[in-house]
Homo-oligomer: A and B are copies of this chain.
């Protein structure tokens, strides 16, 4: 594949500086790119790479002041990384679009299948399920009874969508993710054992959501567990029954949101974070990795860290003292001795 700098500039609506006939065949990082690569410079801190790179085309900020001679063709864009993403997506994406229904797919007669879909080998689509136009269901995907998959949504090999659950358009689910497994709900019984609380609700995933591999989105006890539009989950994230994750919130790997908790919009939640059940997290909250959130966060746009979490500035102060804790004790001992000496 050969792409010209002009084609790239046109694709991303960028402003070309240099020879538009420059050709690229691959994409790389600016510091390791080879001749024939397209790359980008987003952080002005790394400006010096621009003068040293072997790349043939570099996408830079439209405001970047270039202070030395450059060998490469330049394309200016308001958001260089985003522009570069558009280039990767159009020319270099390893997940090529697929079409066609494999003869081994088991699709219920009552299911509704859109046009232009890909349904791979050994996929199972049960009664009354709906698969939207251009959806991509890789091998071994399971779509339960009455479940719905939106348009252009991709489910990689082995994704399991339980019955009654509804997934929007342009979503991506990576392998092993379970959507609609039962919430963790049990009621004590007279004999000391637990009775299962049937989880009769479902999961609703809105448009443009992506989850990593092996995530667990539990169906609601009653009603719905909801992931609002644009939510992005890393691998192995648990969203428990009746939780709701707000628009464009991002959660890193191995984190869990417990039952009935409502996380706001535009939150950024680190890895291995635990958020207890039945609380709410304000919009724009940022939570550091391994934090534990034991109660609601009401003020928006604040940062937290620690387990239990503190506001981030306090948490850092606590950490500093914590590292000196043995020394602190020695200082107290010294004071005690000093006073003893003084009063004898």
Interface residues in chain A, defined as those with a beta carbon under 8 Å from any beta carbon in chain B? 27-29, 32, 78-79, 81-82, 85-86, 88-89, 92-95, 102, 104, 106, 120-122, 124, 138-140, 142, 144, 156-158, 160, 162-164, 172, 174-176, 178, 181-182, 184, 186-190, 192-200, 202, 208, 210, 212-214, 216, 218-219, 222-223, 230, 232, 234-236, 238, 240, 248, 250, 252-254, 256, 258, 266, 271-272, 274, 276, 289-290, 292, 307-308, 310, 314, 317-326, 328-329, 331-332, 335-336, 338-339, 342-343
Contacts and interface: CB of A to CB of B under 8 A. Distances in A.
B189 A82 contact: yes
Contact of A175 (B32, B85, B160, B338): B160
A192 B222 contact: no
Contacts of A106: 102, 104, 121-122, 139
The 8 closest A-B pairs by CB, nearest first: A178-B213, A216-B235, A88-B198, A142-B157, A160-B175, A175-B178, A174-B181, A181-B213
Number of copies: 3
29 contacts: A27-B222, A82-B189, A85-B197, A89-B196, A94-B202, A104-B104, A122-B122, A124-B157, A138-B142, A156-B181, A158-B158, A160-B176, A162-B175, A172-B196, A175-B178, A176-B176, A178-B213, A178-B235, A182-B210, A184-B235, A238-B271, A318-B322, A318-B323, A321-B326, A321-B328, A328-B332, A331-B336, A338-B343, A342-B342
Contacts of A182: 172, 174, 210, 212
A79 B235 CA distance: 39
A73 B186 CA distance: 25
A198 B235 contact: no
A271 B250 contact: no
B156 A194 contact: no
Contact of A307 (B193, B252, B290): B290
Residue among A157, A240, A289 with max Cβ neighbours from chain B (10 Å): A157
B210 A196 contact: yes
A303 to B, nearest CB: 15
B208 A193 contact: yes
Contacts of A266: 192
Residue among A163, A176, A213, A314 with max Cβ neighbours from chain B (10 Å): A213
A219 B93 CA distance: 12
B94 A164 contact: yes
A184 B289 CA distance: 15
Contacts of A208: 193
A195 B89 CA distance: 10
A328 B322 CA distance: 11
